[in-house]
Structure 1
Amino acid sequence: MAFNNWDKLRKAQRDYPKPNKIAEVFVRKALKKSPKNPFLLAWEANLSLHLNHDAETAIRQVQQAWEQPGSNDVRLLSYLYEVLAEATRKSHRVLEISSVGDANSKKWQSAAKTLTRKQDREDFWSALGKVASRERCWEDFRLAVVQYNKEIKEGTTSPSAKKQAHYTQIIALQQAASQQSRIEGGEQKCKIYADLARGLLKQAYQAPQV
């Protein structure tokens, strides 16, 4: 089977649902035929993390997957994000991280530029927001909301959608500020985000009712 899209990867993973040696052998054989396949590399990264408990190798494999053609699929990027988030926490031996790193942000931004339709870009940034919130990476969630709001403010978006986007940005800043207050050295960012959230909340209260 040619693992050249997300659906084919998921089908293969259903055949090998557990991260075990059988799955590892299957993926390695498939990678010998297609060593630059981003979907297989993503699966390999997940196996490195859960089967071999090797966070550093998993991180390198995620980065390798990003570099391959065909790696802009939003479902693949979300899957890679989940693997990277868990690997980063294990690598740093912490329970909480605010972001999976600048390299991930750059990859998502680069992939977004390939999308020509506004709705596709909105859905794309919404996907990042969802996976970042699941992993409680509030700095990445904040970035996703900022990018999503840029798309919302352009074009003929309804006032109610813009209002919802405004309040979502407030929540993103509040969550990011709260998380930074728990991170060593995060005091300055915490203050900046809290101040920005208060400013946006004030704007919301002062805005004319529609």
Structure 2
Amino acid sequence: MIDLHYWPTPNGHKITMFLEEAGLPYTIHAVNIGQGDQFKPDFLKIAPNNRMPAIIDNEPADGGEPISVFESGAILLYLAGKTGKFFGPSERDQIVQTEWLMWQMGGLGPMAGQNHHFNRYAPEQIPYAQKRYTDETNRLYGVLDRQLAGKPFVAGEAYSIADMAIYPWIVPHEAQGQNLADFPHVQRWFEAVKARPATVRAYARGEEIRPSNAQMTDADKKVLFGQTAASRATG
């Protein structure tokens, strides 16, 4: 059984997508990031960067003590190794899948995240920042569109952890100021992943915990965007 410490954000959705695809039994433990659950001592023991998702695998392959894993990309790699699914089958396939997983972790996620912040959550309009991150998100969509030309999935013929990592960050494309019609290969891929039964189930789990139309409050923003090392040491 997998204990999944989760909130329905793009990084959280990655993990439920994998677990639903692989058919692994799991229990969700909600980490309400607007209320500061990510700073609780018990959570910090398994996720020292105070970010969800994190997992505890109570039945690791080596038969030993439970294993905890934090960081969504590391979790995907761990689960792929545990199950032998959605990563491979050859070393060459795995290299491409890892490249695109890292592309999401180091590029699309951080840039789209800043796009979300300055266009949706910042208390003041900063046109330079809004344009900077909207344009960079657009550039990354173009990179992804070129990669998907002539292939069904990001890393080639097989659905993989690369697709699971990237898809949740494309879901809010309208809020990011992006039109999928401008990226026909991304649009075709996006609709295919969206229609997968496991994707539907994964997103339904998120809706059970926090509806997608729920609004972020000022108190939520203070918790999410007002933290420093000093404030957490004294908070």
- TM-score normalised by length of structure 2: 0.31
Relative contact order higher in (CA < 8 Å, ≥ 6 apart)? 2
Structure with more of its chain in strand, by fraction: 2
What is the TM-score with the length of structure 1 in the denominator? 0.34
